[in-house]
Amino acid sequence: MRAILLLLALGLSAPVLGAESSVPLLAVTPGAGGQVIGVPGASLPWLLLFPFLPALLLAFTAFTRIAVVLFLLRQGLGSHTSPPNLVLMGLAVLLTIFVMSPAIKLINAEAYQPYLAGAMDFNAAAQKAAAPLKSFMLRQTRAEDLDLFVGADKTVDPRRAETVPLAALAPAFLTSELKTAFQIGFMVVLPFLVIDLVVAAVLTALGMIMLPPQLVSLPLKLLLFVTVDGWHLLVGSLIGSF
């Protein structure tokens, strides 16, 4: 994950930092009453970006699709607290690391380690680190979504990742991931919807209208999910979708 953090930091801060390798976030200067701590103008974009770094980091990876499908699964089961959010987020992060491992290894070997060793400057490391991630994002991005953000720019060739600007590729990739996640989620939720409808119809026919259908349908949905080895099928389908 630290390799992707490097990519995000390098890619987003390259226009700000230029040729410098780092920028101090705080500056301490002597003043009339002692030392004065201030914020340099060059570090202001960093301070504004820090609260959004986790969201930006995950938006560049497979996390969006995986997390949305997992939460739609829980919604389809009708259990709003089990599995808890922490478990689903942990599973989504682990699956994201597994799916992104080829790109992470390339970024680590070609950009992160040379940058740490001083064999590559800041801008060169940013360009090297961007290539594997942009290739992954481009494979998962629909042509119509990319056209929406690229517009009439004739210099962009979707078959060549280096010609696609990250500012256009990132929102196009995220839009495509949301669409794919909802498509997979629909197929996951549909069997549970059928069970809900059948249970509600049976209870109504029996005159048990005061009994909440969720109390009956939840055990049936859990039984169905366990019987077909749902977690194995779902995780395998999510990994295979990439």
Percent of all residues in the chain with a pLDDT value above 90, rounded to a whole number? 15
pLDDT higher than 90, residue 123 = no
Distance, in Å, from the CA atom of 238 to the CA atom of 95, rounded to the nearest integer, reads 9
The tally of CA atoms less than 13 A away on the side-chain side of residue 167 is 5
Given a cut of 60, whether residue 223 has pLDDT beyond it is: yes
For 160, the 3-state DSSP assignment is coil
**What pTM did the predictor assign?**
0.77
What pLDDT, on a 0 to 100 scale, did the predictor assign at position 178?
Answer: 92
The number of C-alpha atoms within 13 Å of 66 and in the hemisphere containing its C-beta is: 26
Digit-coded pLDDT (tens) for 157-187: 667 767 777 778 888 899 999 999 999 999 9
**pLDDT per position as a tens digit, 28-41:** 666 555 566 666 65
Q: Token pair of 70, please?
A: 């997992």
* pLDDT (average), residues 43-53: 71
Q: Which pLDDT band holds residue 24 (cuts at 50, 70, 90)?
A: low
pLDDT of residue 230 exceeding 70: yes
pLDDT at 69 over 90: yes
DSSP labels, 7-70: HHHHHHHHHHHTT-S---S-EEEEETTEEEEE--GGGHHHHHHGGGHHHHHHHTSTHHHHHHHH
pLDDT for 2 equals 47
The Cα 111–Cα 45 span in angstroms is 23
> Mean pLDDT score of the chain, rounded to an integer?
79
Backbone Cα Rg of the chain: 24
Q: Which residues contact 97 (CB under 8 A, 6 or more apart)?
A: 1, 104
Question: Which residue matches tokens 């999510």?
Answer: 238
Residue 6 has pLDDT above 60, yes or no: no
Give the pLDDT band (50/70/90) at residue 7. Answer: low
**How much is the pLDDT for 33?**
59
167 by Cβ neighbours in 10 Å (0-12 / 13-18 / 19+) ranks as exposed
For residue 35, what pLDDT is reported?
Answer: 63
